[in-house]
Amino acid sequence: MFQTNQTTCALFSGSWVRDDTYPLYKYSDCPLIDAEFNCQMYGRPDSDYLKYRWQPHDCVLPRFNGLVFLSKMRGKHLMFVGDSLGRNQWESLICMISASAPKMQTRMSRGDPLSTFKFIDYGLSVCFYRAPYLVDIDMVGGSRILKLEDIHTHGNAWGNADVLLFNTGHWWSHKGSLQGGKYYKDIDRLVALEKGLRTWANWVDNNVDTTKTRVFFQSISPTHYDPSEWSTRATMAATKNCYGKTAPMTGTANPGTYPDQKRVVDEVIRKMHVPTYLLDITMLSELRKDGHPSIYSGDLSPAQRAKPDGSADCSHWWLPGLPDTWNELFYAALFH
């Protein structure tokens, strides 16, 4: 029996198990996958990485059913809001749903910041709204200035959604100084993250109608640029990133992954008035060092692929792949 109650089932604590019924769809059946996520199309030679399923320790994760998703979400508006990891997950969900009803009438419109995929027969819109920091950004003198106390420009686009799934994280950890509006120059990144998330939380608390809309927040997605995370024998001569990795790590991920960011997210969500479900995917994703596009990205030139140390993408995830598991967890939290 499956229950999402965390005291009964710790969804995000478990291990990766081999399952030859995976993946849930073929990349060739889902043409909307961006080139940067489509490592099979761009020459990844192995395929065992597709054959793993997330197994929580004390329950069975329900298998995703696209027709059930469509029927339960008929006439609804679902929106992913965040950075390119959110786009990664948005494309995954569309592929997963489409695999269950391949002949269904659909319509796609891509834009910036808003892209929308419509399942016309069910009146379901699945959208991605690009807002890497969630808060608003101004351009001043050619520089991007974060408006840490302002989210209204973005927030005006979110109000009609029935389900909102937010993510942020990677852009806050980029190297270099952050300009946080006229009040904060070269602000500490963790301080900026907390201020930005509190602005987001206030927007949710003041604008979300809980009788109509459900809110989810996805924890930070890990990168795999440091081999010492998965091998105590890592040396300077070894590959410096995820290139060539073909299997998940075994056991449990390092609980110290992104501890400061996780603490900030936990504290902000705990103080919110609107119930916000934390999809805590960081640790289970940390185990998938094999899951990144690496050099098999359509965004890389042949010269770049020949130098994996400097060009491998160990931030995003292949499709089909890990974001499908994020969506299975989302499906479980949404309907079970």
List active site positions: 84, 313, 316
What are the backbone angles phi and psi of residue 169, rounded to the nearest 5°? 155, -55
- How far is it, in rounded angstroms, from Cα 119 to Cα 103? 11
- How far is it, in rounded angstroms, from Cα 163 to Cα 310? 38
- State CA 32 to chain mean position distance: 17
For every residue of 44-80, DSSP letters joined together read ----GGGSEEEEETTS-PPPP-HHHHHHHTTT-EEEE
Here the tokens at position 31 are: 């043409």
- How many residues in the chain? 336
Residue owning tokens 């995703």: 64
The residues pairing with 129 across neighbouring beta strands, listed in sequence order, are 81, 114
Helices (H) and strands (E) in the chain, counts: 9, 11
* H or E stretch at 308: helix 308-311
Residue 65 CB coordination number (10 Å): 15
* DSSP E strands, the chain: 14-18, 52-56, 77-82, 106-109, 114-119, 124-130, 136-140, 143-147, 163-167, 214-218, 276-279
What are the backbone angles phi and psi of residue 286, rounded to the nearest 5°? -60, -30
Nearest CA among 123, 117, 32, 30 for reference residue 71: 123
Angle, vertex CA 133, rays to CA 127 and CA 138, nearest 5: 105
Strands 52-56 and 14-18: antiparallel
Residues 6+ positions from 236 with CB-CB distance below 8 Å: none
